Amino acid sequence: MLLSPYGLREWLTITVLAVLLGGIAAWFGLWWLTGIVLILWLAGVAFFRDPVRRIPEDLEPGTMLSPADGVVKSVLTVDHHEVTGGPAMVIRIFLSVLNVHINRSPIDGEVAEITYRPGKFLDARKEESAKVNESNLVVLRMDSGDLVGVRQISGAIARRIVCPLQIGDRLSRGQRYGMIKFGSTTELILPRPHETNIRVKPGQSVRAGVHVLAVLPQD
């Protein structure tokens, strides 16, 4: 099991504590306690797992891969969004604490904007959380000139959004670019909503860098 460098501090801390507590328990012959420590260690480091993904190839232009693992919470059209400067399609994905929390780029593109906003830490299952919680918006410019947004949104447990990107960075479709630590939400924001071909529906499980969420027609 690969572990994400985005969570290096956390899973190293968990490992050190587990070794100390497990070693003490074993020293006193408390093997049952050692077993419990091992189970807790596995549960802790599993959150920072970073499985290898085989990114689909030969996709049609404008194909949007999922930026996160989780369940599609909603698919909605809004009259105005800061990413597009007009109407937009928003696909919202809920991540439970059991999901892989690595974010991946949905497309090939250049980082045009990064906007971090402090906020609340409401339960990510609540609709209001997407509006008021801490968030980080990354806007990618496709080769066609279209702007696509990916927004990382914290939850009640998630208290740290990781995004080491800088404006001008170039991302490939399916490339890792950050994570949200513990339960959270990720949004994919697309331009030209009336032309976009949506390939998912609410309640559907998706995996980052694997499942197609939508296709944005390209000239």
- The list of the chain residues with pLDDT below 50 reads none
Distance between the two ends of the chain, CA-based, in angstroms?
A: 41
pLDDT tens-digit profile of 145-154? 999 999 999 8
Same structural domain for residues 31 and 71? no
What's the pTM? 0.89
Q: What is the CATH number of the domain that holds 162?
A: 2.70.70.10
DSSP of 161-172: EE----TT-EE-
Give pLDDT, residue 187. 96
Closest CA relative to residue 109, chosen from 175, 60, 163, 55: 175
Give pLDDT, residue 146. 94
**Domain limits for position 35:** 5-46
Same structural domain for residues 98 and 191? yes
Among the options 66, 135, 154, 184, which is catalytic? 184
Give pLDDT, residue 193. 92
Give pLDDT, residue 53. 92
Question: Catalytic: 184?
Answer: yes
pLDDT tens-digit profile of 110-161? 999 999 998 776 666 666 666 778 899 999 999 999 999 999 998 766 557 8
